[in-house]
Structure 1
């Protein structure tokens, strides 16, 4: 359960996603019925429990089964590599979750564009704490529900700047919010159609669309092409060498439509990363610009 839900959080200090000391996973969300807090617990290999609080509690519980990957279908996936076979054996419960909430995944993905993860999670945390609302129910301390679409739109430019978000990324968020309804309706489309719709937003490319598809759409094939580390993680974990994005796409054709499942299994099982001899992304403090 924790492993399945872990990619829905944005860093260890995400105020919308926390793992409690007792192993319960807490998540806040803004449903069509209002804000909600959710608590997931696992009692045995086959039994999960979801409790919810707030105006959106009913809607949150109704979405819980999709969140833990009930609709994820691994049919046809063959773990035909020793690393994949071992991870598949060790983590049989790993599933691809589906939130069904496009903007909830899209906004933090935009914040993660072209910056290191610690910088993106700090920006997300600052903006959510400042413009979200207190989480309902007995949540761990300091949890909040993320801002509504309108609340995101009302954030002034200087607050984006203070949170370390450059004008390009904040502008992309604003453009996405202008077509939020059309983007949300993409959950009813095929993965290819939904991705194409996302990419009509200026500033949303292949990587960002894939990051949304993995979470909001539960797309087990969405490959984050353009990620700074992914191609070499795949290359060194499965093929023992560096890889470009193009080489990675060709090499992973055999696992379609489960390429993201391969990525998650490698991450869970302990992926091999490229030796750190090359350049890295550096921290860029946009507040100084």
Structure 2
């Protein structure tokens, strides 16, 4: 049976019963998270990769989101676990709002506050989510909290009270009542039905995050290793071919550490987090999904970029290459400024000096992961001379001070739905940030898939195919990159890897 094309399935508006059923019967991982299947005979909804026997077409109802399936009265499958599905990444206002909700923005139930943050009225916010997801903001938030709680029940030995509070519920009673009403069973039933997990560890929490294969994990960590901020993060070589990532964390008033390793046979990342971060798990995991680009659909990206022979060759060498993001926007932005007009190695040295001069020491289980990155507030009050003492020109030290003040004033909190052009112009209002730096921040930290630092000398060199081997100019590179849109950020990573 032929499966539908990827392009046919990119937009929830194009989903048809026939195309979804063909993808379901094929159990094709490319469509994991693109839609969910509600089975009328069981009242359960599943991922298209669920290992159960494919139900009859007449028994299936298809939904573009888990929230829509739950709003229709279906409960999540305990076997395929819909909460593990990678998300259907889209760059629009509805998805940007959904990302905030997934990170816990509505855990306090204040839809008016969220609407104000995204520049909408509460009525407009409701209409946007109803049109895109088929549910209200509160219904969407409830689904996210319940699925996150289900994840904790199945993957950890958290006490029930910790499950409730970590998933954003104000009380255990409220959690139990909503869980029973929505899923028709008590939370304790989910835990008894879950696979036997390891003994409860008072010092660490282990969770999993899924992605759509392929995933060039080693290549991503190779890229990150050359740019890791010494003291704050580290790429760890465990055994040949097995690398992992560790870093310190400060989030929502909590601090600790995390460690990420790859489970290729399960198409998942395993995340270990210090127990001190238990109540910040929702935003923490959302940041990790962004940092490791877990919502990308590499097949769609590759199909578009492979029309260029230069990129096609690198795609064949590194299938599943993604854009490494950033756990913290300010941290990456400072690292970008430090990288202006110096080599990657030089910027890495400068960032290490900055951490040891302005950062805060902390203890972790990982050698070399010893400090928290300096806060915007810390660098905003430091003088240019103090910052320049790490080995910077005064002008660049002033740029970091300007960036820190910009961050303190909320300048790095980008309005959902803002265009790439608007964001670049906004970042360039900071004295000392030019086009290259703004595009780099937008690409890696703010997750704009079409951001492209065309002024990068490495990209200009890698994109050259002429006989004389002369490097392309920035204007020439932009002209060539026009056909790579809307995935120019992925093209940039392919070109950088081609240089290596």
Shared fold by TM > 0.5?
yes
CA deviation after TM superposition for structure 1 residue 55, in Å: 4.5
Superposition deviation, residue 149 in structure 1? 1.2
Q: Which residue of 2 aligns with 1:131?
A: 358
Contact 1:96 1:261 in 2 (8 A): yes
**Alignment partner of 1:64 is 2:285:** no
Aligned residues: 271
Shift of residue 155 of structure 1?
3.2
445, 459, 468: which one aligns with 1:216: 445
Return closer, same or farther for 1:4/1:139 CA change in 2, 3 Å cut-off: same
| 2:461 counterpart residue number | 232
> Using the alignment, how far apart are the partners of 1:143 and 1:123 within structure 2?
16
Partner of 1:20: 236
CA distance in 2, matches of 1:237, 1:249: 16
Which residue of the partner structure matches residue 269 of structure 2? 48
Cα deviations by residue, 1:63-82 (Å, 9 ceiling, x for unpaired) = 22222212335536231234
C-alpha separation in 1, matches of 2:236 and 2:320 = 20
Question: Could you list the per-position Cα deviations for residues 188-235 of structure 1 after superposition, in whole angstroms to 9, with x for gaps in the alignment?
Answer: 233222222111111111101011112111222211132233212212
Deviates more, 1:45-54 or 1:10-19: 10-19
Corresponding residue to 1:87 among 297, 314, 334: 314
Change (3 A) 1:90 1:232: closer
Aligned with 1:251 (options 475, 480, 487):
480
Q: Which runs of 5+ in 2 are unaligned?
A: 1-216
**Closer, same or farther in 2 for the Cα pair 1:41/1:247, shift >3 Å?**
same
The answer (yes or no) to whether the contact 2:350–2:390 under 8 Å persists in 1 is yes
- Distance in 1 of aligned mates of 2:297 and 2:425: 23
Name the TM-score, length of structure 2 as normaliser. 0.49
**Superposition pairs for residues 1-289 of structure 1, below 5 Å?**
1-5=217-221, 7-8=223-224, 11=227, 14-22=230-238, 23-45=243-265, 46-53=267-274, 55-56=276-277, 58=281, 59-74=283-298, 75=300, 77-99=304-326, 101-180=328-407, 181-186=409-414, 188=416, 189-236=418-465, 241-268=470-497, 270-271=498-499
Structure with more contact order per residue of length (Cα contacts < 8 Å, sep ≥ 6): 1
Asked if 1 retains the 8 angstrom alpha-carbon contact of 2:359 and 2:374, the reply is yes
Gaps of 5+ in 1: 273-289
